[in-house]
Amino acid sequence: MHAMLLTVMRCSMQSLTLSDLAKLTGLKPRTLQFWTANGVLIPDEGTKHGGPGVHRKYGINDVTIACIVAEISQYGLQIGMLISISRQLREAFSCVNRYNIKRYGDICNVFISQLTEGDYRDENNLNILSAILVAVEGTHETRLIIYIDDDGVNLSASTDLENREDEPDCASFLTINLSRILPKMRS
């Protein structure tokens, strides 16, 4: 199981119930249930297949995914695109375990190590993860860029909201300000 970003994000929550997640994101519980049924969100293992009276709980990774996807969903993306986005975010979170990341500085060390070795396979995942961590810590403005084309949906991240030179050269993309939507998780 992937390590939780709890310590990295300095977040006090262990996991949230569906109703708590609805309050945090401003979404209706039925929307979150639909997302869960379709794989956008994945509840904690012990609550995934619970019957009546068992409340699903979501770990910090899925809480983060819910906050990001809630913002993105306002643009009318189809459920398949939301599933693709959540998968890419989960892949970025998998770097926490793979590289033993405990704090933002560890990401920088991994970047340097990969550059030295010429290994760029996780470059985008680490970029996304660092943008999320910086947004939650509130140290810099960060954004998530969602590219939409015939091949599907791809994510990228940037920590510079002022510099628009790295905007995609295509008609279909969204830019989400992570610094605006994720700091509410720090409470």
- Please list the pLDDT of the chain residue by residue as tens digits (187 residues): 222 333 334 344 578 899 999 998 999 999 999 999 999 999 987 766 666 656 889 998 999 999 999 999 999 999 999 999 999 999 999 888 888 887 777 888 888 888 788 878 888 888 888 888 888 777 778 888 888 877 788 888 887 655 555 555 555 778 888 888 876 565 5
Q: Answer yes or no: pTM beyond 0.85.
A: no
Residue 8 confidence (pLDDT): 33
Residue 173: the pLDDT is: 79
Residue 24's domain comprises 6-186
What's the distance, CA 176 to chain centroid? 12
Q: Is residue 29 part of a domain?
A: yes
DSSP per position, 43-112: --GGGTT--TTPPPEEEHHHHHHHHHHHHHHTT---HHHHHHHHHHHHHHHHHHHHTT--SHHHHHHHHH
Domain assignment present for 167? yes
Side by side, the strands of the sheet bearing 173-177 are 152-158, 143-149, 173-177
86 domain-assigned: yes
> Structural domain tally of the chain?
1
125 belongs to a structural domain: yes
The answer as to whether 161 is a domain residue is yes
Please report the pLDDT score of residue 169 as a whole number: 54
CATH number, residue 166: 1.10.1660.10
62 within some domain: yes
pLDDT of residue 165: 53
Residue 1, in any domain of the structure:
no
Q: Rounded CA gap, 75 and 81, in Å?
A: 11
Q: Are 122 and 111 within 8 A, CB to CB?
A: no
pLDDT score for 51: 61
Q: Is residue 36 part of a domain?
A: yes
